[in-house]
């Protein structure tokens, strides 16, 4: 199986580029590599979740998934994605809901 192309929304690309080189950056990079290599396996992961509330707001019908990534210090980040015919679209990379600094 050939790895799929990852297509980042501008804000997701900016968040990815701004990740520190340490543990969190490495974990997000590994999650994206796994997603590109086998999106079906990522969907099957018990930690992945669908996000129908986002799906309802999109013009194209496609399932939207959230892939959690453990952050240093016990936090959690989220990669929100959907699979379309030619690519994996990455819509969000950042703190998971409830993990936002306030």
Q: How far apart are CA 80 and CA 93, in angstroms?
A: 7
* Cβ neighbours for 29, distance < 8 A, ≥ 6 positions apart: none
Whether residue 68 is contained in a domain is answered as yes
pTM of the full structure: 0.82
Whether residue 46 is contained in a domain is answered as yes
Whether residue 97 is contained in a domain is answered as no
Instruction: Give the range of the structural domain holding residue 41, as residue numbers without chain letter.
Output: 6-86
Whether residue 81 is contained in a domain is answered as yes
**Predicted local confidence at residue 41, as pLDDT:** 92
Whether residue 99 is contained in a domain is answered as no
Q: pLDDT for 2-56, tens place per residue?
A: 678 999 999 999 999 999 878 889 999 999 999 999 999 998 988 888 877 676 7
How large is the greatest C-alpha to C-alpha distance in the chain, in angstroms? 42
Q: How far apart are CA 61 and CA 37, in angstroms?
A: 22
Whether residue 100 is contained in a domain is answered as no
* Residue whose token pair is 């707001």: 57
Whether residue 96 is contained in a domain is answered as no
């Amino acid at each position: 199986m050939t790895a799929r192309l990852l297509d980042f929304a501008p804000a997701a690309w900016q968040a990815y580029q701004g990740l520190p080189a340490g543990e969190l950056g490495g974990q997000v990079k590994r999650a994206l590599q796994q997603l590109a290599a086998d999106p079906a396996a990522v969907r099957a992961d018990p930690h992945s979740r669908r996000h129908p509330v986002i799906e309802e707001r999109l013009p194209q019908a496609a399932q939207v998934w959230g892939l959690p990534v453990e952050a240093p210090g016990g936090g959690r980040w989220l990669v929100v994605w959907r699979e379309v015919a030619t690519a994996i679209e990455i819509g969000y990379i950042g703190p998971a809901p409830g993990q936002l600094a306030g």
